[in-house]
Amino acid sequence: MLTEEIQHMSDQYVMNTYNRLPLSIVRGQGCHVYDAEGRSYLDCVGGIAVNTLGYSHPDLVTSIERQARHLLHTSNLFYTEPQAELAHCLVEHSFADKVFFCNSGAEANEAAIKLARKYSHDHFGPNRSEILTMVNSFHGRTMATLSATGQTKVQHGFEPLVPGFTSVPFNDIDSLEAKISDQTAAIMIEPILGEGGVIEADTAYLKALRDLCTARNILLIFDEVQTGIGRTGTLFAYEQFRVQPDIMTLAKGLGGGIPIGACLATENIAQAFTYGTHGSTFGGNPLACTVARQILRILLEGGELERCQERGTYLRKGLLSLQEQFSFIKDVRGRGLLQGIELSIDGKPIVMGCLAHRVIINCTMGRVLRFIPPLIITQAEIDVLLATLEKVFLKQREA
């Protein structure tokens, strides 16, 4: 089908929950996607930080084909080798001792919320269930994760929300400490607010948060759905802050496009989940786990993490150079290949201008351009992105 046909059919039959760009993608290769007419676009969004190794990576294609011939799915009433191997790899390279597998970031955060409340219930009784989250955080769109999210704009119309969540200002330890009570079970935080505008947590803040949680017997949950799996230049962002959580959630880049999520925890906390307390029909299925294990193998053994750091530094340098040229760029921030530009103007015209030049970027919070390309992006492709931004910015300044 041609682009117009695809879009017409989608608009007619698919619920209108996405503000889609006028682009119908039919295939991808490396960091490029192609529309129904065969036009190529440089993708600097990567499925919203999902396509870790880009599109059609040969090792992932081979893994999918091989596993599909053997076993796509069986229930979690049985053991499978891919799930066991992936769990072992995640534990071996993180603070955690146990893993629960699911299908998405929202489900991973649901698991973390349930685990924290169950642990608190088992150790401190039924009245200790509150979870503190951050203003402008984003944790998912299920009812619990929506309630945990610190953005009223995504909660509107879905009231009553799930009780037991309170949002506090980000990077403000005094405000957070003032909200802690005898009912506080956990604190849930993204090391970098992704949907919230690519804002980093201060290292001193996270360390103070860790000390506070330890002193008050409160669990610390890191939502690394967006920052995990090499996005910031290390396998997990917490490694760079040198602050270890009690529970961590993953998704997005873990499956490289195959749906998978994970909730990781230390042994004593994971014990709160017992037979029948939580589960997932599709979670940790053999296909998803095979792909995720291959992605981790490539990141850990192929040097991609180091290259991600180099490319992130290169991208940031280019973005800072643009800031010197254009007064409407207020800030450049982020780590690795999660970078953002905060503007003093509306970001949507910039997104559309880049699309006209066949470069795909993203805007969040209205005025923050977000760059989350596949980790395999090259310096030459970054140069294309930077040159395109400069052209679009020049046109915007002259308008």
Instruction: With cut-offs at 50, 70 and 90, classify the pLDDT of residue 243.
Output: very high
Enter the tokens of residue 394. Answer: 């020049």
The mean pLDDT of 51-64, rounded to a whole number, is: 97
Whole-number Å distance between alpha carbons of 38 and 27: 9
Residues 34 and 117 in one domain: no
Residue at a domain's end among 276, 301, 326: 301
- Contacts by 175-179, CB closer than 8 A, 24 or more apart: 176/132, 176/209, 176/212, 177/212, 179/132
Res. 399: pLDDT tops 80: no
Residue at a domain's end among 249, 277, 301: 301
Per-residue pLDDT at 2: 86
Residues 81 and 25 in one domain: no
* pTM greater than 0.95 (yes/no): yes
Q: What is the mean pLDDT of the chain?
A: 97
How many distinct structural domains can be found in the chain?
A: 2
CA 374 to each of CA 10, 47, 64, 147, 243: distance values in angstroms, whole numbers, following the listed order: 26, 9, 19, 30, 26
CATH number at residue 114: 3.40.640.10
For 301-322, the pLDDT digits (tens) are 988 899 999 999 999 999 999 9
The mean pLDDT of 167-177, rounded to a whole number, is: 97
For 3-26, the pLDDT digits (tens) are 889 999 999 999 999 999 999 999
For 328-382, the pLDDT digits (tens) are 999 999 999 999 999 999 999 999 999 999 999 999 999 999 999 999 999 999 9
Res. 259: pLDDT tops 80: yes
Residues 78 and 122 in one domain: yes
Q: Are 293 and 140 in contact (CB under 8 A)?
A: no
Residues 375 and 249 in one domain: no
Q: Judging by DSSP bridges, how do beta strands 192-193 and 184-189 pair with one another?
A: unpaired
Instruction: With cut-offs at 50, 70 and 90, classify the pLDDT of residue 208.
Output: very high
Per-residue pLDDT at 85: 98
CATH number at residue 311: 3.90.1150.10
Residues 296 and 339 in one domain: no
Per-residue pLDDT at 3: 87
Residues 16 and 148 in one domain: no
The mean pLDDT of 40-69, rounded to a whole number, is: 97
Residues 257 and 311 in one domain: no
Residues 79 and 183 in one domain: yes
Return the H-helix or E-strand segment holding 172: none
Residue at a domain's end among 271, 301, 331: 301
Whole-number Å distance between alpha carbons of 356 and 360: 9
Per-residue pLDDT at 131: 98
Residues 118 and 132 in one domain: yes
Which residue range(s) make up the domain with 354? 3-56+303-398
Residues 196 and 268 in one domain: yes
Residues 192 and 314 in one domain: no
Give the residue ranges of DSSP H helices in the chain.
Answer: 3-13, 46-49, 58-70, 81-92, 105-124, 143-148, 152-155, 173-179, 203-216, 238-241, 267-270, 286-301, 304-325, 348-356, 379-398
Residues 121 and 166 in one domain: yes
